[in-house]
Amino acid sequence: MKNWKLCPKIERVLNYVECYWFLEREPHDHSHIHPKLNPDPSAYLIIASDNYLHQYDHQATSQVVQGSHWIFPHLKTYTMDHLSPFKIIGIKFRVGALYSLNLYDLSSGLDNVEPIDIQSTTWLGASQYRATNNERSGLAASTKYAG
């Protein structure tokens, strides 16, 4: 399994984002087929291919989403299905960041996984945040993988 994790370098972003990460499971990789996602008070934005199904199980409950999605703060331990190959990018938000960013359109609460259309700017509150060209350049530079 290939992975990396980076912290934001821009202070304004660092106030809301704890880290960015990448995870790839290749066809020949047979480790961690059903990893656990422990309880976490942070929200995650998972950026994934639209044709990949993600499954999060807790006891008799299963949440399935296709493509990019939110994992909201959760008290439950989820078991994930990583049987098929995939590539995902994750953004781990700091606790409370979604409230600070005024992302009120997010209706889900605790222990929910919800799909998102990341190509739409309505979820981001585009009128709330406009990155300057310098911030965009810095963000791109801070997320480059040197591998």
Would the pTM of this model clear 0.85, i.e. be above it? no
Q: What is the CATH number of domain 2-142?
A: 2.60.120.10
pLDDT of residue 129: 42
pLDDT of residue 135: 47
By the 8 A CB rule, do 78 and 61 touch?
no
For residue 145, is pLDDT > 60? no
Mean pLDDT of 73-91: 90
pLDDT per residue as tens digits for the range 105-140: 555 678 888 888 888 755 555 434 444 444 444 444
Cβ neighbours of 41 (radius 10 Å): 11
Residues 79 and 61: their CA atoms lie apart, in Å, by 11
pLDDT per residue as tens digits for the range 8-33: 999 999 999 999 999 998 888 877 77
pLDDT > 70: percent of the chain: 78
For residue 62, is pLDDT > 50? yes
Higher pLDDT, residue 123 or 59: 59
Q: What is the dihedral of CA 100, 9, 125, 38, to 10 degrees?
A: -60
Length in residues, the chain: 147
Higher pLDDT, residue 43 or 136: 43
DSSP 8-state symbol, 98: H
DSSP string, 5-61: EE---SHHHHTTEEEEEEEEE-TT--S-SS-EE--BSS-EEEEE-TT-EEEEEETTE
Higher pLDDT, residue 139 or 6: 6
In sequence order, the 6+-apart residues with CB closer than 8 A to the CB of 105 are: 122, 123, 125
